Amino acid sequence: MMTTLTAPAPAGVDTITLRRPDDWHIHLRDGPMLAAVVPYTAAQFARGIIMPNLVPPVTTPAAASAYRERIRAALPEGSDFQPMMTCYLTDATSPDEIEAGFTQGIWIAAKLYPAGATTNAHHGVTDIPALAPVLERMEKIGMPLLIHGEATDPAIDIFDREAAFMEASLLPLLARHQGLKVCVEHVTTAETADIVRAHAGRVAATITPHHLMINRTSIFQGGLRPHLYCLPVAKRERHRLALRKAATGGEACFFLGTDTAPHPKGAKESACGCAGVFLGPVALQCYAQVFDEEGALDRFEAFASLNGARFHGLEPNTGTVTLNRRAETAPETIRAGEDEVVVFRGGEALPWSLGEVTR
Give tens-digit pLDDT for 68-106: 999 999 999 999 999 999 999 999 999 999 999 999 999
Per-residue confidence (pLDDT) for residue 122, from 0 to 100: 83
Per-residue confidence (pLDDT) for residue 1, from 0 to 100: 24
| Least confident span in 1-5, 241-245, 264-268, 353-357 | 1-5
What are the backbone angles phi and psi of residue 284, rounded to the nearest 5°?
-65, -35
The answer to whether residues 71 and 50 touch, using CB atoms and an 8 Å cutoff, is: yes
The answer to whether residues 308 and 255 touch, using CB atoms and an 8 Å cutoff, is: yes
SS3 content of the chain, % helix, strand, coil (to 5): 35, 20, 45
Mean pLDDT of all residues in 5-29 = 79
Which residue numbers belong to the known binding site for Zn(2+)? 25, 27, 111, 148, 186, 259
The model carries a pTM of 0.95
What are residue 110's DSSP bridge partners?
A: 87, 145
Distance, CA of 221 to CA of 147 (rounded, Å): 30
Mean pLDDT of all residues in 178-199 = 98
Per-residue confidence (pLDDT) for residue 226, from 0 to 100: 97
Give tens-digit pLDDT for 21-55: 999 999 999 999 999 999 999 999 999 999 999 99
Which residue numbers belong to the known binding site for substrate? 27-29, 53, 148, 231, 263, 275
Per-residue confidence (pLDDT) for residue 243, from 0 to 100: 98
Per-residue confidence (pLDDT) for residue 11, from 0 to 100: 53
* Strand ranges (E), 103-186: 107-112, 145-147, 182-184
Distance, CA of 59 to CA of 321 (rounded, Å): 34
Please name each of the domains of the chain with its CATH number.
15-358 (3.20.20.140)
Per-residue confidence (pLDDT) for residue 117, from 0 to 100: 85
Distance, CA of 151 to CA of 158 (rounded, Å): 9
pLDDT-based confidence at residue 12 (cuts at 50, 70, 90): low
The residue from 23, 259, 292, 298 that is catalytic is 259
* Catalytic site includes residue 259: yes
The answer to whether residues 297 and 16 touch, using CB atoms and an 8 Å cutoff, is: yes
Give tens-digit pLDDT for 112-170: 999 988 887 788 999 999 999 999 999 999 999 999 999 999 999 999 999 999 999 99
Per-residue confidence (pLDDT) for residue 121, from 0 to 100: 76
